Structure 1
Amino acid sequence: MIWMTVGNSRSKDLTELEMLSEMVTGARFKEILLVLSWSEMMAVRGCDDEGRKRSSISPVTSPKNITQNREVSKLSAIAMAADTLPPLIAAQLNYLLTHSPHSVKVDQIWSGCKNSNLPDRFTLLIPFCLDYIKWDVIYNAQYPLVAPDIIFAAEDDIFHPLPFTGEAEGDVQTPKSSLCDWNSKDPSRLLSLIHELRDLYTSYQRKRVGEVDDDRLKFEISTIISREGIEMCTGGGIEKAEEVKFAVPLLDMDLNKLVHGCPWRHQQKIYLQVVYPVIRKYSSVPSAPRVKLVSSSELKALFSIEDVKLPPWLEGMCLAEYLPTLEETLKTQVLEAVASIGVRRHFIEALAPLFGRPIEADPVFCRKATVLAASGVFTFLVHFFLPTQFPKQQPVLMLQSSQHFNSQGTPVMSPVLTDYPWSPRWEVSQMAERIFEFLVEECLNFKKYCNETLLQQR
């Protein structure tokens, strides 16, 4: 913490701390002051354990190093289902949302009876080919032991996934469906049903793509069909299809295991979306497909696919030729992103000798840290936001007052600060020192900004 004045006696130290506690209305800082030990009080005032003066500018050591960000739980579809659906149906839905390897979402829940307050049906958003398909799951609240009906989208009117058990084509028997011997008391049955239908839907879409009259598409499919996890779909009917989309999983590596202690519940993947325009017989030269990298939003904490420069698609190139070069580049950048976590962690550790221990820090990806600082009796927080490209890209700083609040009751914040001395070639200790020196002056400007903000509200 930046502290501009230093007391000369123990009684004065306590008096100013008590006064500071009264002035600071932020609940977090009040809690911090309540648990300060004597040695920590002396650290606040720049003195040693005997009350002797140490320096004219010294850090405040926070009483507690909070190494994890507290995640605020949100109202999820799981909780909503448990509160509104009949118990047996809720158990099925909760199990699906909790245990599915796909990020299945609930779009809406409603009742099949106009005069009933007991909902018994819902719409699922199921990930497929880097998009979502909507399926309505129809239970009957009056007969909760009966298996549900599934209603597919109107454009999939020819999708008939579950023929009657025992129907045969020649001597081949149809596999047994999850709907057979339905057990409503087994919460995993809906999960099994949805996964079975999704697998059948994947095969259905692959068959439709294969029926599109385009020689280039047929060749592309033949070269990558053996690749595990690839999905494809048509944009419209087979006769009117204008384009065909491919979702190609990249990197044969477990991204979740690369980051120690990562909070990801679903398996993280990076995909290449390839969109081929359908070539008619009368067309001349086939145009290059549109390509784009896609990943889950959670992966952005580690690695931003927007920083990847896609290799050019050369004339006459096929997808099987394009993928190896892309994957090699992508793998290198992902491993560099994992290694940069350690660099960011060392930078956050380098803040402690100058600012005191951070009161908050991101322990997994080391993307954020917050320290408590003061100039005289003006106390404020310094938020550090570290980019994935650190140290090539410098941290973004933001100051937050502990004593000034706007008309909505929220603390006054500074604009983002990036105009300070920085070089990616410096040692992390020098980076922290230069930021500290910058903030010694900048905190005075911020205090003036806070006071002007309050005057404008009057």
Structure 2
Amino acid sequence: MDLLPYNNENLLINFPPLLRRNFEELFCHGKIGLTPFTLSDISFTKQYTENNSTYSYYYTLKIPYAGKRLSWELIFNPEDMCFAPDFSFNDDTFYMSHDLDVIVENVPSLMNWNVNDSKSLTNVLKEFLNLFKKQQIEKLHKENIYSQLCTEYQHLTEEVITPSDIEVYLENTSVHFVINIKVDLSSLPEYSQTIFSRRKDQSDILLNPGEDNCILKMSYIKLDGSRVNASLQLSPRVEQALGNAKTFHIPNYSKQTSLFEYVTLIGKLLRDQVKKVAQHYKLKKEYINCLCTMYAQNMIEFDSETFHKGVFLCEVGDYHCLVHVDISDLFPQEKPTVTLHSLYCASPKKPCLEVVEDYPYSPRWEPNMMLQKLKVYLVEATKIKDLANKCKHPNSRKTHALIKQIQKEKSRDKKKKSNNIKLNILGEKLLWFRDNLEPNCAIYTPKQTVELIEKYLSRFEEELEQIRIKHSIGNRKNRQHASREDIINLTIQQEREEFNSCGLEIPDVLNIPQFQLLRQWNGELRFLPKFKLKRYSRKYLEGSCTHASAKDTKQNVEKTMDTN
């Protein structure tokens, strides 16, 4: 990522005036390969003097390709810059393998060079790089030592990746791939720009984030796949949203995994993470918008880019305080941090503040409902603080009554929070059963109930399979997601033991009114008291199935005898 001021003339001062538009296009908008070309990839080798000014005409370019840097020399004619440049590739295998006819066919921009066209230099470099890539792919197909990786490459380009989105570089005993993984990144938040300097005599220096992409680098150090280095390179905007290599980990590559399977897995991980971040960003934005709407006249400030923070003035009677609402990256699973800043603090060095921790909150609520509950709680809390300011003596009756009231409210809120957690767990359980009912079934039979419970007991299989896949990739010594895996296994074991012994508590799907109530339920927790849960064991349900089958057989026999 380059530093680019609004005025680029100071960066182009060493280039001849006639070529500056070409180099500006190359630095700002020109993308030669999958990896962008930056200012640090060019160096000045030879110079000439014209009109008391010194310019360069001989340049060394470090072309990024497949995780490597190709050293190419770009040479212009100092006597007439209108002529097309010469190239020295420092690679005899590439330079000697192509005659003039091949270059004319594959690099037409060099033959049609026009120095007044700002894209001329970028087009020439692109075409030469495509010719180099074509040579590498032909070598991959022809030489026998690369036969295994050639098969991997063909499978990958036929199923997942287009040939234009992959770069191949061959060395003596190693092969390097750079793969552009296509992911829809339009839902991610915009790149948060940073201004580096703001002086009167200088323009603001801004970062150029470039295009959004996700680049996977694969280096086969050993051709049999026993030693492979894999890394993920994200563009600045994507890295700012998803995290860098330290926070967003990818699984290691193993010899038993094909390149196609590994690229597919990385693509799925990226898409899942993008979806999660986009949903998180959408909820934060909606939360701050609701906060601004609710406290429109009292709003002091809010973060309009990342939506992490909002500050408003809370007024209850004669009491005033500033309320700081900070939203973490785990929202809505983790509730926002609410801090009260007093306006009556006498010491400016030690501001009087208090973090509100026990206000009502549920991640299942809509942002508007979250703020409504917070508003009611803040009104009650500030009333108590206003009363506390009027209590003069710590041993007065008013003070003791206030302490008793605060303790009573804390105990009530703690009990209410515990009840809300239980209701949320029960609500999620009933939602699962509602969503997995047979669509055209009026009432469940004991046999169908057994099948439904077995499906419920195996509801974590997909998540466990994903954890097993991550463990199988690479030689991991530590268990990733160990705590989550242990909780799932313990839950399944406990529920299966209940089903095989005393019975598992589920909605009464054998009861017609309860079955219809479950099917028509809209998911609101306030309707939970209407449901009657019942414990069903495997022995009871299978016995009911046998009894029903014997009863049907007896009725059929009696019907046959009556007919005879």
Q: TM-score range by the shorter chain?
A: 0.5 to 0.7
Does the 8 A contact of 1:245 with 1:275 survive in 2? yes
Match of 1:268 among 207, 212, 223: 212
Cα distance in structure 2, aligned partners of 1:222 and 1:131? 22
* Counterpart secondary structure, 1:302: helix
* Counterpart secondary structure, 1:316: coil
**Which structure 2 residue ranges, 5 or more long, are not aligned?**
193-207, 315-320, 340-348, 383-564
- Aligned equivalent of 1:302: 241
Within the alignment, does 1:159 sit opposite 2:94 as a pair? yes
With over 3 angstroms needed to count, the CA separation of the structure-2 counterparts of 1:347 and 1:233, relative to structure 1, is: same
Match of 2:55 among 119, 135, 147: 119
Does the 8 A contact of 2:43 with 2:61 survive in 1? no
1:305 Cα deviation after fit: 6.4
1:287 Cα deviation after fit: 1.9
1:193 Cα deviation after fit: 0.6
Does the 8 A contact of 2:310 with 2:324 survive in 1? yes
Cα distance in structure 2, aligned partners of 1:110 and 1:181? 26
**Number of aligned residues:** 331
Within the alignment, does 1:216 sit opposite 2:156 as a pair? no
- Correspondence 1:178-327 to 2 at 5 A: 178-210=109-141, 211=143, 213-226=145-158, 227-228=161-162, 229-234=165-170, 237-238=171-172, 241=173, 243-251=174-182, 253-256=183-186, 258-259=187-188, 266-279=210-223, 287=226, 289-304=228-243, 306=245, 310=250, 316-327=256-267
Structure number with greater CO (CA < 8 Å, separation at least 6) is 1
Write the deviation string for residues 35-80 of structure 1: whole angstroms up to 9, x where unpaired.
Answer: xxxxxxxxxxxxxxxxxxxxxxxxxxxxxxxxxxxxxx84389443
1:164 Cα deviation after fit: 5.1
**Of 198-207 and 120-129, the range deviating more from structure 2:** 120-129
Cα distance in structure 2, aligned partners of 1:392 and 1:89? 55
- Aligned equivalent of 2:39: 106
- Aligned equivalent of 2:395: none
- Correspondence 1:21-420 to 2 at 5 A: 74-75=4-5, 78-101=8-31, 103-107=36-40, 108=42, 110=44, 112-113=46-47, 117-121=53-57, 122-130=59-67, 132-152=69-89, 154=90, 156-160=91-95, 163=98, 165-166=100-101, 174-175=105-106, 177-210=108-141, 211=143, 213-226=145-158, 227-228=161-162, 229-234=165-170, 237-238=171-172, 241=173, 243-251=174-182, 253-256=183-186, 258-259=187-188, 266-279=210-223, 287=226, 289-304=228-243, 306=245, 310=250, 316-352=256-292, 353=294, 356-357=298-299, 359=301, 361-363=303-305, 366=306, 368-369=308-309, 371=311, 386-387=328-329, 389-392=330-333
TM-score by length of 1: 0.56
1:163 Cα deviation after fit: 4.6
**Larger Cα-atom Rg:** 2
Sequence identity percentage: 18
Cα distance in structure 2, aligned partners of 1:82 and 1:342? 41
With over 3 angstroms needed to count, the CA separation of the structure-2 counterparts of 1:101 and 1:77, relative to structure 1, is: farther
- Aligned equivalent of 2:482: none
With over 3 angstroms needed to count, the CA separation of the structure-2 counterparts of 1:215 and 1:419, relative to structure 1, is: farther
Instruction: Name the amino acid aligned to 1:275.
Output: S
Instruction: Name the amino acid aligned to 2:180.
Output: P
TM-score by length of 2: 0.47
Does the 8 A contact of 2:62 with 2:69 survive in 1? yes
Cα distance in structure 1, aligned partners of 2:255 and 2:47? 59
* Counterpart secondary structure, 2:110: coil
1:93 Cα deviation after fit: 0.9
Please identify which structure carries the higher helix content: 2
Does the 8 A contact of 1:91 with 1:187 survive in 2? yes
With over 3 angstroms needed to count, the CA separation of the structure-2 counterparts of 1:267 and 1:117, relative to structure 1, is: same
Does the 8 A contact of 1:78 with 1:93 survive in 2? no
Cα distance in structure 2, aligned partners of 1:358 and 1:157? 67
